[in-house]
């Protein structure tokens, strides 16, 4: 970093009060947001749904929204507001753990007016302890390890550090070193050739704070171009901001070597939700812009290269269509009965859940994890205090449990990790049954189903002996990478063989938004011809990223 030494010396002499903490939170949030796609790209499995950066950014966004208009100088009060915002806005496992880290900081600063060296060291220690307590089975080589190493490193300079800035410098260095070591602690990271994404996100938050102290820019990302076929353009639609009316996607070949820092800088002057992908010398640029700027990125790129393709969509019209199509009728909940809310990634799946008697659906899944507040809102106004939550995704279970902790209602979180598990659990629902007994039956019910997922690989990698090439069809069985194939049909057939489908009774194919009903039925007929004993069903799922979600019973 190029340090503004005069600025740093001035800041060293100032007390860190609530307003100073507010500026640090803003800086950490901004730098994380700038590098969000770098964090998203650190996906263990080569699937197109990396969302850690998005989850952590939205969690910090909620924290910032809570304090952006707050002017208190008391650091304890400011930290409490940060914690409150992060708690309710937490998304995904990484976001929930981040909120717990901030909760620990808030606990440590309670009753304090300003922050000194010892108070800052204490805050990192409490952040570590609170984060570890918030996870039932802590796993090393993750964001937890990073905050632990930060706490250890800062504790080591107690008595020698001259000021809080020096403690922050130690924290950033420790976080950086801890992130680099995560593959040695978690073998799957080493296999995938990546560091832990949550830990990297925490590093960016701390580094952003230090960059603010040093007077460094927070707008130019540490550039990491992702493959063109890995760009999550569908997920970008979930983040439409006020004034960002059009989505513009441009494929182009640059006239010479592309200066990525300058390229990003120019795009940030035009709009938001910027993504850049590259493949065989061609680049794809994605951006959200206001109505009056919809041709600006096109004109700019014409000046630096040859455009091969342009796509433009009215985002507000798309969002309106989505909201209209999302109207699903749910059965009324009888007062005193059990109400179930589920998380669903697709319109078709939501309709199926509604037909099985759920009281409400929270839109979400891979790459669009709902927040604690979203889950809380889904059941707070239901006319019963007996609530069951089906997360249907391993990355949503922590947020569901956090919603359970902040409500006065009686809540059971059934730890379903997949859509088929959620559907199996729903078949055991008895709305007027005894609450605990029904929850136990639903837990038992989802354990009997196997889940398959078929998608397209986003990079070349070898994990658990399975070699995958970028762009190849891959299949996961119960969350584990199972195989690679040359076609979706072959991927489905090979997956069923891996799952010992010949010994099962029913296979249900839930086709995604990239598959047609006709093609799905054709593949179902191939399965019927291969497995005469199986009952095969085809249902519209509507989920993004995955051509098929498969229930095997």
At the fourth CATH level, which superfamily is domain 5-214? Answer: DhaL domain (1.25.40.340)
Q: Give the C-alpha distances (Å, rounded to integers) separating 319 from 9, 293, 316, 323, 374.
A: 49, 19, 5, 6, 18
Just give the CATH number of 450-552: 3.30.1180
User: pLDDT digits over 202-212, tens only?
Assistant: 999 999 999 99
Pick among 3.40.1580.10, 3.40.50.510, 3.40.50.2300, 3.90.960.10: CATH of 326-418: 3.40.50.510
Stated pTM of the model = 0.79
Q: What is the mean pLDDT of residues 16-44?
A: 91
Per-domain boundaries in the chain? 5-214, 231-320, 326-418, 450-552
> Residue 13 has what pLDDT?
80
How high is the pLDDT of residue 492? 95
d(CA 494, CA 496): 5
Nearest one of 371, 381, 450, 482 to 85, comparing CA atoms: 371
Strand partners, 246: 289, 314
Q: Is the pLDDT of residue 323 over 60?
A: no
Mean pLDDT value across residues 381-389: 95
Among candidates 246, 168, 202, 225, which has minimal Cα distance to 95? 202
**Average pLDDT for 77-83:** 97
Q: Are strands 338-344 and 360-363 parallel, antiparallel or unpaired?
A: parallel
Instruction: Output phi, psi for 4, to 5 deg.
Output: -85, 90
Reported as a pLDDT band with limits 50, 70 and 90, residue 19 is: very high
- Segment 252-256 mean pLDDT: 92
The pLDDT of residue 5: 85
Q: Which two tokens stand for residue 421?
A: 């598990």
DSSP string of 12-62?
Answer: HTS-B-HHHHHHHHHHHHHHHHHTHHHHHT--SSS-S---HHHHHHHHHHH
Rg of the chain (C-alpha set): 24
Distances (CA, A) of 198 to 41, 127, 201, 236, 354: 11, 15, 5, 20, 34
Asked if residues 495 and 550 have their Cβ atoms less than 8 Å apart, the reply is yes
CATH no. for 231-320 = 3.30.70.1150
């Amino acid at each position: 970093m190029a340090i503004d030494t005069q600025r740093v010396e001035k800041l060293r002499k100032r007390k860190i009060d609530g307003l100073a903490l507010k500026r640090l939170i803003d800086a950490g949030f901004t730098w994380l947001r700038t590098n969000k796609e770098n964090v998203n790209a650190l996906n263990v499995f080569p699937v197109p749904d990396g969302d850690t950066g998005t989850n952590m950014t939205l969690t910090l966004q909620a924290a910032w929204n809570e304090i952006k208009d707050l002017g208190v100088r008391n650091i304890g009060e400011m930290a409490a507001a940060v914690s409150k915002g992060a708690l309710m806005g937490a998304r995904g496992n990484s976001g929930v753990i981040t909120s717990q880290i901030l909760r620990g900081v808030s606990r440590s600063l309670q009753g304090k007016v300003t922050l000194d060296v010892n108070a800052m060291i204490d805050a990192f220690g409490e952040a570590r302890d609170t984060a570890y307590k918030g996870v039932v089975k802590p796993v090393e080589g993750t964001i937890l390890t990073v905050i632990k190493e930060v706490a250890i490193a800062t504790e080591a300079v107690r008595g020698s550090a001259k000021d809080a800035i020096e403690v922050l410098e130690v924290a950033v260095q420790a976080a950086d070193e801890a992130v680099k070591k995560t593959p040695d602690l978690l073998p799957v990271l080493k296999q995938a050739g990546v560091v832990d994404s949550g830990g990297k996100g925490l590093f960016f938050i701390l580094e952003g704070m230090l960059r603010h102290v040093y007077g460094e820019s927070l707008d130019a990302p540490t550039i990491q171009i992702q493959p063109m076929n890995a760009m999550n353009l569908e997920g970008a639609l979930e983040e439409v901001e006020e004034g960002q009316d059009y989505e513009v996607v441009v494929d182009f070949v640059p006239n010479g070597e592309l200066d990525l820092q300058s390229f990003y800088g120019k795009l940030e002057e035009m709009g938001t939700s910027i993504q850049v992908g590259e493949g065989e010398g061609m680049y794809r640029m994605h951006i959200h812009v206001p109505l009056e700027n919809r041709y600006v990125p096109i004109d700019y790129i014409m000046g630096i290269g040859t455009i091969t393709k342009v796509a433009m969509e009215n985002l507000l019209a798309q969002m309106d269509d989505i909201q209209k199509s999302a109207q699903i009728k749910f059965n009324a909940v009888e007062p005193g009965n059990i109400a179930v809310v589920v998380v669903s990634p697709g319109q078709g799946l939501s309709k199926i859940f509604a037909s099985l008697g759920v009281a409400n659906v929270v839109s979400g899944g891979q790459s669009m994890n709902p927040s604690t507040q979203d889950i809380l809102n889904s059941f707070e106004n239901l006319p019963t205090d007996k609530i069951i939550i089906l997360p249907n995704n391993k990355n949503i279970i922590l947020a569901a449990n956090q919603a359970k902790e902040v409500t006065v209602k009686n809540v059971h979180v059934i730890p379903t990790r997949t859509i088929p598990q959620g559907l199996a659990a729903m078949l055991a629902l008895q709305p007027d049954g005894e609450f605990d007994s029904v929850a136990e039956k639903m837990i038992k019910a989802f354990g009997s189903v196997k889940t398959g997922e078929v998608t397209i690989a986003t990079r070349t990698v070898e994990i658990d002996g399975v070699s995958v090439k970028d762009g190849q069809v891959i299949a996961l069985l119960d969350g584990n990478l199972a195989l690679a194939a040359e076609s979706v049909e072959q991927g489905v057939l090979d997956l069923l063989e891996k799952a010992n489908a010949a010994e099962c009774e029913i296979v249900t194919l839930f086709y995604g938004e990239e598959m047609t009903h006709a093609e799905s039925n054709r593949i179902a007929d191939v399965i019927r011809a291969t497995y005469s004993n199986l009952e095969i069903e085809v249902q519209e799922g509507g989920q993004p990223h995955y051509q098929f979600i498969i229930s095997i019973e």
